[in-house]
Amino acid sequence: MRSIRPSFTARRGRSARRRTSPLPVIALAAALALSVTACESGNAEVSGEATASAAAGGDGKITIPDDIKDKLKEHGIDVDKWKDGAWKEWDKEDWLREAKDFINPIIEGLWDPDRMREAEDPDRGVEESDLSGDQGVTDPTPAPVDAQAVSPTYHANAPELGKVFFDSPDGPSVCSATVVQDPANPGKSNMVWTAGHCVHAGKSGGWYRNITFVPSYNDTGIETAKLKDATREQVAPYGAWWADWAKTSDQWIAQGGLTGGEGAPYDFAVLHVQPEAGSNGKSLEETVGSALPVNFNAPAVPDMAGIKAMGYPEAAPFDGQKMYQCQDKPGRLSLSASEPTMYRIGCTMTGGSSGGGWIATGSDGKPALVSNTSIGPEDNTWLAGPRLGEEAKGIYDAVSEKYAGQ
């Protein structure tokens, strides 16, 4: 029997440090149209025009359907006040937490190049977590595997990968994410896979806000010093796609925490997205040209030849502006004898890579998503991600079925 007690933190999105500051039960999240460390205030001024799932009238203006207006009113939200900055109010009493309460009105232009570039992780310590209850299931700690830079263009080498930007009570933050196939809309998916902690704060909070996916962020690998002068088209060549529906596990909502917590084996989420600029008739999958299948029956660790984890690490020595990957044969990590084991690989990627896809070759010889980055230790030597089983499939299927034929 082997017990370990490392320090670890979820490989979560980083929040902006500006000059001034630092399921057995499936969760449903209805929206219009955020690895787990705390975020830091960005204090950014925001402007833009709020929209929602809506149709454009003959004058080109957005018309918000009555049912969407009613949904907002149920939560005491005025769209005009929201887009003028009311979304920055994080009174805990009013922070929407329940699965059914997710809302995400589009604020056009909110995620400009500066705000995207400056979303990062604060320098904050992590808590120790006692893993001694693993009953000997945890495999030996893997040797570190140095993260390798992905060659640009990223679209040519990993078209499904991108960044998820979101706002938390402490400021603008970022995770990584992957375009996945939609069984109900083959070839026309608008579905994105990421970590649960990139959309919901877990047991201590609620849904994050302004959740937006940017595929192939900084596609050509522009050097960081030159990104200050980059246009939005250069950093977001395939546009910004806002979540109009999101689902994560009830286990994450009930048990997730700043260092992963008991919800870590269920730290996954699925987004359905729509383009900020309005639809040109093309889905996200058609726009980027690809989407990965999801394998909910990946082989057990001894039979898994290797996994490739991909993402945009933010914390030092990285800066979040470029894509990296790690390849390793996985072992098992158990947080509790009563919970599923997680995959674990050696990898030096840091915060910001959270939510990024873990890809393995299936029995058909083709790549498929089998996990996502969830937690890692303070010294950034390994990463762990949940095994995807019935709970994950239930979330995935529910998002797909909601948009069947659309």
Please say if the pLDDT value at position 72 is more than 80: no
Phi (first) and psi of residue 217, to 5 degrees: -55, 135
pLDDT at 64: 56
pLDDT, the chain, mean = 81
Please say if the pLDDT value at position 28 is more than 90: no
Q: Residue 403 to residues 189, 201, 400: CA-CA distances in angstroms?
A: 10, 26, 6
pLDDT at 59: 42
Stronger pLDDT, 198 or 122, i.e. the higher one: 198
In this prediction the pTM is 0.85
Please say if the pLDDT value at position 154 is more than 80: yes
pLDDT at 204: 85
Please say if the pLDDT value at position 125 is more than 80: no
pLDDT at 382: 95
pLDDT at 406: 78
| Residue count of the chain | 406
CB 30 within 8 A of CB 71: yes
Sequence spans of domains, the chain: 8-124+135-402
Q: 196-222 pLDDT, tens per residue?
A: 999 999 998 999 999 999 999 999 999
Q: 32-48 pLDDT, tens per residue?
A: 332 333 232 333 333 33
pLDDT at 261: 72
pLDDT at 2: 23
Stronger pLDDT, 294 or 15, i.e. the higher one: 294
Stronger pLDDT, 50 or 164, i.e. the higher one: 164
In this structure, whether the domain defined by 8-124+135-402 belongs to CATH 3.20.170.30 is answered with no
Task: Return the minimum-mean-pLDDT range out of 5-14, 84-93, 127-136.
Answer: 5-14
Stronger pLDDT, 75 or 305, i.e. the higher one: 305
Please say if the pLDDT value at position 1 is more than 70: no
Q: Which pLDDT band, with edges at 50, 70 and 90, does 134 fall under?
A: low
pLDDT at 287: 97
pLDDT at 69: 65
Distinct helix (H) and strand (E) counts, the chain? 9, 22
Q: What is the spatial distance between Cα 344 and Cα 373, in angstroms, rounded to a whole number?
A: 9
For residue 99, give every residue at least 6 positions away whose Cβ sits within 8 Å of its Cβ, in sequence order, or none. 27, 28, 29, 247, 248, 250, 253
Task: Return the minimum-mean-pLDDT range out of 62-71, 123-132, 195-204, 320-329.
Answer: 123-132
Stronger pLDDT, 305 or 220, i.e. the higher one: 220
Buried b (16+ CB within 10 A) or exposed e, 245-277: bbbbbbbbbbbbbbbbbbbbbbbbbbbbbbbbe
Task: Return the minimum-mean-pLDDT range out of 57-61, 316-320, 375-379.
Answer: 57-61
pLDDT at 336: 83
